[in-house]
Amino acid sequence: AGRIENHPRLELIVAPQLSIVCFRYGSASTRTNATDADALNKTLMERVQASGEAFVTQAMLGDMFALRANVLHFSTTETDLDALVEVVVCIGDRLVAERAGSGVAP
């Protein structure tokens, strides 16, 4: 959770319970429009899953779409957690750039 809280492009949605962390990718512009932020994070989840580099699922918290990471495996390391954050941010940044280039709201 600390990695997410300390990253300028990630937002921790709720304090973690056990090993589940719910968060969103977002820049200042995506946080201004909930519908666009939800769409961006849904596409981000799909791209992260398709990449095979990390795996996140979804959670609906009220009417907000959130990315959900569940860290259960005993051999998960700090490096694995760093990699998860890096993959999410890298793919999120790419999505924002793609949307900016196509005229779609980030």
Q: Does the pLDDT at position 32 exceed 70?
A: no
Domains and CATH numbers, the chain: 2-102 (3.90.1150.10)
Among 25-34, 42-51, 68-77, the least confident range:
25-34
The chain-wide mean pLDDT, for the chain, equals 90
Q: Is the pLDDT of residue 30 over 80?
A: no
Rounded Cα distance, 97 and 93, in Å: 6
CB 23 within 8 A of CB 15: no
- Is residue 27 very low, low, confident or very high in pLDDT (cuts 50, 70, 90)? low
Q: Please tell me the distance from the alpha carbon of residue 24 to that of residue 4, in angstroms, as a whole number.
A: 9
What pLDDT score was predicted for residue 102? 75
Say which DSSP state 104 is in. -
Q: Report the alpha-carbon distance of residue 94 to residue 97 in Å, rounded.
A: 5
Q: What is the pTM of this model?
A: 0.87
